[in-house]
Amino acid sequence: MVLLVTTLAFAGDYLNSAHGNSSTGVKRTERTTTYSQGNCGHCHEQHGIINGATNSGPFPFDLFRNFFNTGATTGSYLQDDNFCFACHGAPSLQSGGITNNDYAQTFGGYTTQGPTTILEAFNQTSYHNLYDVWNFARNTFSFFTDQSNPCVACHNPHLAKRIKANPTNPSAATAVSRPTDHGTLWGDGAGEKMADFFTGKYQAPLHYSSGYEPGGTNTYDGSNLPDYATFCTDCHNSTNTIYSTTLGRNLRPIDWISEGGESGPGDKHGRNSATVAISMNAPYSSAPIGISIGFAVSCLDCHEPHGSPNPFLIRREVNGVAVSITDPNSKDMGYLCRACHMDDKAAGISSTANRWEYIHHKASDRPYVQMQCMFCHQAGGVSNCLNCHMHGKDDSWAGARATGRICF
């Protein structure tokens, strides 16, 4: 028999968690007459048999189903591929079902309905590959075993709180634990907010309806938002090598910490922010936090944590603007950039959205003079934005015309 839990969780912590809550916690439909809501027995069956009915186990951690189908190396996923999908999918085994909208809708206020379950969120164009998460975590983090569920890399199921019920203050009900500190929640303690990541440098993006993220309040400094930059860079940093089975290559390293200046190292959306000038839209053009340059961004300002209809887990809405990207290897990525950065339409030199002559050739800190246009603008069109704008990239693609600037 495998022990019931892998990490010690005091009863009080579990009872305060989303799963242990006596009003909204776990309540498996086929066990409603057997266990009270929040009871461990809704997920764990110590003997594999109840009232003469076997669960066909045993399964790791005494779960009533297998933890994860390691043969599911890419999506789309079936409900049986992941233990968590039994309830966080449709149909759900949780009495009454569970609705989980995506980050853009829950915390960004986007009004167009997106996925309504975690399983549906993963079964979109781009997603966190669960096999890759499982494979990386079991080879990296001591708490994570070969029988651990990939969701556990980011969530401690005995501690995670019901964050969706607190869209205006997710720090107070955080659902994540750092992989390097699985035994505690992340985002609810001192020094664990986006306001703490780079003091005075985080400006919350606009909420789709009014106010600022998260939740459309007047709080704009990240003091109500978990420090997702620190959380995500536990894995996605400048030293870890993470292979993507979906993409067939290693993911690009992300340096959100270094402050190497214009030529790096360090991504400019992290602590190594722009040093000369930037042409921004609201709220960054007149940021309430009182700076005009040097912003540090939260990963979830642009990315969904589970999956997205856009490539690279790009959110459906960013900074109050709907974002739709069909082909990432084109100027489509500009539809993400223009949510915050001033395109020609915002600059008043064109009536067409997603044109970028102003920033590249006319702004005060323009990097390029207008000559030999065809080098970049092949066949009268615009080149792939990702030639220069991607985590860790500079404009070396431009050859002799390169400035050496970090471009992301």
The token pair at 188 is: 């609810």
Residue 305 lies in a domain: yes
Is the distance from CB of 356 to CB of 349 less than 8 angstroms?
no
Three-class secondary structure of residue 89 per DSSP: coil
Q: What's the angle, vertex CA 149, arms to CA 248 and CA 161, rounded to 5?
A: 115
What sign for the dihedral angle of Cα 79, 9, 155, 113? positive
What sign for the dihedral angle of Cα 365, 371, 377, 383? negative
Phi and psi, residue 130, nearest 5°: -70, -35
- 283: preceding bond cis by omega (within 30 degrees): yes
From 120, 144, 117, 1, select the one nearest 59 (Cα to Cα): 1
Residue 210 lies in a domain: yes
Domain total of the chain: 1
Residue 344 lies in a domain: yes
Residue 36 lies in a domain: no
Residue 300 lies in a domain: yes
Q: Residue 374: which residues within 8 A CB-CB, separation 6 or more?
A: none
Phi-psi region of 245 (alpha: psi -120 to 50; beta: other; left: phi over 0): alpha
Please give the Cα distance from 182 to 185 (Å, whole number).
7
Q: What is the pLDDT of residue 381?
A: 60
Q: Counting beta carbons within 10 angstroms of the beta carbon of residue 5, is it exposed (0 to 12), middle (13 to 18) or buried (19 or more)? A: middle
CB atoms within 10 A of CB 217: 16
Residue 405 lies in a domain: no
Q: What is the pLDDT of residue 382?
A: 65
Residue 284 lies in a domain: yes
Q: Please report the DSSP string for 308-337 in residue order.
A: ESSGGGB-SEETTEE---S-TTTGGGHHHH
Is the distance from CB of 92 to CB of 98 less than 8 angstroms?
yes
Q: What is the pLDDT of residue 6?
A: 43
- Tens place of pLDDT for every residue, the chain, 408 residues? 333 444 444 567 999 999 999 999 999 998 878 899 999 999 999 888 877 888 888 899 999 999 999 999 999 999 999 999 999 999 999 999 999 999 999 999 999 999 999 999 999 999 999 999 999 999 999 999 999 999 999 999 999 999 999 999 999 999 999 999 999 999 999 999 999 999 999 999 999 999 999 999 999 999 999 999 999 999 999 999 999 999 999 999 999 999 999 999 999 999 998 777 889 999 999 999 999 999 999 999 999 999 999 999 999 999 999 999 999 988 899 999 999 999 999 999 999 999 999 999 999 888 998 887 877 787 656 678 999 999 999 999 888 889 999 999
Q: CA separation (Å) from 333 to 32, 211, 362, 364? A: 48, 26, 21, 23
CB atoms within 10 A of CB 159: 25
Phi and psi, residue 329, nearest 5°: -95, 50
From 100, 111, 118, select the one nearest 163 (Cα to Cα): 100
User: Which residue range forms the structural domain that includes residue 296?
Assistant: 101-128+161-176+187-353
